A and B are shown apart, each in its own frame.
Chain A
Amino acid sequence: MSCLHIKHLTVTFETLMGTVVAVDDVSFDHESKETLALVGETGCGKSVIASSILKLLPDNANLSGEILYGDKDLLRLSERELADIRGQEISIIFQNPTLALNPVYRIGDQISELFRVHKRASSKKSKAYATSLLGRMGFKDPEHAFHMYPSQFSEGMNQRVLIALALALHPKIIIADEPTKGLDDQLKEEILKELMKIKEEKESSLFLITHDFDAARNIADRVALMYCGQIVEIALSPDFFDEPFHPYARGLLKSLPSHDFAPIPGASPSMISPPEGCRFHPRCAERLEVCSHEMPEPIKKSGRIIRCFLYR
């Protein structure tokens, strides 16, 4: 059963340089309890999708399409209705935990705030909740951690705090926007393990946004690959990593140090004036005549969704 349907989501930004199409006609379903990894290079629009789900985009963003959560279209809810969902039913973990926490409030108060806002809990009760959460997240002295400020914690510790916050109210969906960016490998593994453990426990679904293929391979059930604002392939994780369909996916896997270490020629196109036809065709080794002037539509093929003329 799916808990989130994204249908024809398009997000554009008005900038001085022109209109940026950050997300272009993206549709996918997010099943409940599954871990879906959205992968792609920096700047391809991954994080914009994450922010669109909770409508956390700046004022110059235009959104169209539908994001269905249960019977509600999140894009058409009022700010008040959205506030009830945010943090409680759908939570998000940002990639810069130290900047995401308010520097002038204690860690514990920032966690307690969640219980105060959503559960109207008393300050004593929410303090107790927050302390026990900190204990669960591996802080040896939760009482002490409660009284610390974000600037006194390391990046990894703050990321744990953000994870604690994201899981606190047993949300249906957890969005993790590059939660391990900037952390060392060991910490990365620990954080992901922690995240998965609690996610299983609370029966939440995880929408992981990452450019780390190893992380996606290790924990994701399904993988969605994004290129220049579009999703080009969605497949089960083992299928995707064993035999990627899309030429871009093949190129990416080949470019990994563990494989051939061979980069894809060319650079990512501009999002203001993307190439005509298939977005990837200028860099594609297997391009057909049709690719340069016609845009491939996503089609279903052997249990995957793929946007490429090779599989027509």
Chain B
Amino acid sequence: MKKIARYLLALFIIISINFFIPRLMPGDPITNLMGEDYIVSQESIDALKAELGLDKPLLVQYVTYWGDVIRLDLGHSFHFHTEVSQIIASKLFWTTALVGLSILFGTLFGAILGALSGWGKNDPKNKTLTTFFLWIYCTPPFFLSLVVLYVFAFKIGIFPLRGFYETGTFTDIAKHFFLPVLVLSLSLASRNYMIMRGSIIQEKGKLYILYARAKGLLNRGILFRHAFKNASLPLITLVALDIGFIISGALFVEIVFSMNGMGTLIFDALLARDYPVLQGIFLIITIMVVVANFLADIVYGIIDPRVREQR
């Protein structure tokens, strides 16, 4: 209960900060809105201020802001000329699908391969796999994207270079999705592999592992029935954070693959200085991070009884 209250407080503070930051910025919002090259009469400025509600006291503005947040009204974009919430909603699905799939594959493969690698002997096969993942781990995803795009789309030509629209058939979408999902999955898997490998190596020396062997369990049984659950604890926070950043995590990859998602939207909004859009996105990201942390807390409690007791 105490934890839930703490998370609610965090949300309240974050949403409030989101209200105050633009008001703390130097300069006049109207000038900002119109651009500095326009010369506008004082009456028009006053009229605009009244229309935007900026002439009211700060407290009234704050209350109105909360009302908007609750109604999911994130304001109006002056670059795209639509409601911010509508723009975000239209891009959200594909990004979530892209990053969600990648988190799924990246976690599954990274954790299982990492566990096997940490458990097994340090033979050449194992070393090769570790070197491979270390290599991926050290490569920035956008560079990896450029490389696979160059090789598979430009040189070999089995995957499309660009042109993703959400109306294609299933195979069409799969074709466009394959490379970016591959890159993102690999980069997530490489991190998860490293964490899981280290974690398993640490668990391997513990007495309960030896005892499981003494009970008559075989190697794989000990790994997946005993070591894996304990070793996966450090991974949970990381995967939760991945989910928290699900909508912005693929920024560079989306841009390189010209995908029509949140990453590209953030990029365009940045270039156009479209503050309402950015503000709306930041708000959603922070809320997602808080929610993901909350979920991680719950999962910890389910897996580890020692965490549960401390509540």
Which of B54-62, B101-109, B215-223 contacts the other chain? B215-223
Interface-lining segment among A92-100, A135-143, A250-258: A92-100
Chain B 165-200 residues near chain A, CB threshold 8 A: none
A32 near B: Cβ within 8 Å?
no
Closest CB-CB distance, B211 to chain A, in whole Å?
4
A99 touches B214 (CB 8 A): no
Q: Are A117 and B215 in contact (CB under 8 A)?
A: yes
* A91–B211 CA distance with the chains assembled, in angstroms: 10
CB neighbours (8 Å) of A86 from chain B are: 213-216
Q: How many A-B residue pairs have CB under 8 A?
A: 72
Q: A79-B219, A86-B213, A105-B229 are in contact. List 20 more A-B contacts (CB 8 A).
A: A54-B214, A56-B214, A85-B216, A87-B215, A91-B214, A96-B207, A99-B207, A99-B208, A100-B207, A100-B208, A101-B208, A102-B230, A103-B304, A105-B226, A113-B215, A113-B225, A114-B215, A117-B215, A151-B305, A152-B309
Bound state CA distance, A99 and B225, in angstroms? 16
Interface string of A98-112 (1 = CB under 8 A from B): 011111110000000
Q: How far is the CB of A209 from chain B (nearest CB, A)?
A: 14
Interface status of A146 (Cβ within 8 A of chain B): no
Does B210 make an interface contact (CB < 8 A)?
A: yes
Cβ A104 vs Cβ B229 within 8 A? yes
**Cβ of B303 < 8 Å from any Cβ of A?**
yes
Minimum CB–CB distance from B148 to chain A (whole Å) comes to 39
Task: Identify which of A87, A99, A104, A149 contacts B216 (C-beta below 8 A).
Answer: A87
The CA of A85 and the CA of B218, in the complex, are separated in Å by 12
CB distance from B57 to the nearest CB of A (A): 55
Question: In the docked arrangement, what's the CA distance between A113 and B305, Å?
Answer: 19
Among A80, A102, A113, find the residue whose CB has the most chain B CB atoms closer than 10 A: A102
Within the complex, the shortest CB–CB distance from B82 to chain A, in Å, comes to 49
Q: A84–B216 contact, CB under 8 A?
A: yes
**Residue B71 lies at the interface, judged by CB distance under 8 Å to chain A:** no
Cα-based distance from A83 to B303 in the complex (angstroms): 28
Q: Which residue of A lies closest to B207 (CB)?
A: A99
Indicate which residue in A56, A83, A85 contacts B217 across the interface (CB closer than 8 Å): A83
14 contacts between A and B (CB under 8 A): A54-B214, A79-B219, A83-B216, A94-B207, A99-B207, A100-B210, A102-B229, A103-B306, A104-B230, A105-B226, A113-B217, A117-B217, A149-B305, A149-B306
| Interface status of A88 (Cβ within 8 A of chain B) | yes
Q: B214 contacts A104, CB within 8 Å?
A: no
Q: What interface size band does chain A fall in?
A: 20 to 34
Q: What are the 9 tightest A-B residue pairs by CB atom distance, in nearest-first order?
A: A87-B216, A100-B211, A149-B305, A99-B207, A86-B216, A87-B215, A102-B208, A83-B216, A92-B214
Instruction: List A residues 107-161 near B (Cβ within 8 Å).
Output: 113-114, 117-118, 149, 151-152
B205's nearest neighbour on chain A, judged by CB, is A58
Chain A: CB-nearest residue to B304 = A104
Chain B residues in 8 Å Cβ range of A79 = 218-219
Chain A residues in 8 Å Cβ range of B305: 103-104, 149, 151-152
Residues of A within 8 A of B211 (CB): 94, 100-101
Query: Which chain A residues border B218 with CB–CB below 8 Å?
Result: 79-80, 83
A102 to B211, CA, bound (A): 9
How far is B207's CA from A56's CA once the two chains are assembled, in angstroms? 11
- What CA separation (Å) do A16 and B207 show in the bound complex? 23
- Chain A 68-91, CB within 8 Å of chain B: the 1/0 string? 000000000001100111111001
CA of A104 to CA of B305, assembled, Å: 6
Does B112 interact with chain A (Cβ within 8 Å)?
no
Q: Specify which chain A residues have a CB less than 8 angstroms from the CB of B214 in the assembled complex.
A: 54, 56, 86-87, 91-92, 94
> From residue A101, how far is it (CB to closest CB) to chain B in Å?
6
B226 touches A102 (CB 8 A): yes
- Cα A120 to Cα B8 in complex, Å, equals 48
| A165 located at the interface, meaning its Cβ lies under 8 Å from any Cβ of chain B in the complex | yes
- For residue A100, which residues in chain B have a CB less than 8 angstroms away from its CB? 207-208, 210-211
Asked if B296 is at the interface (CB within 8 A of a chain A CB), the reply is no
Contact B304 A56 (CB under 8 A): no
A86 CA to B208 CA, complexed, in Å: 15
Shortest beta-carbon distance, B299 to chain A, in Å? 12
Q: How far is the CA of A88 from the CA of B215 in the complex (A)?
A: 8
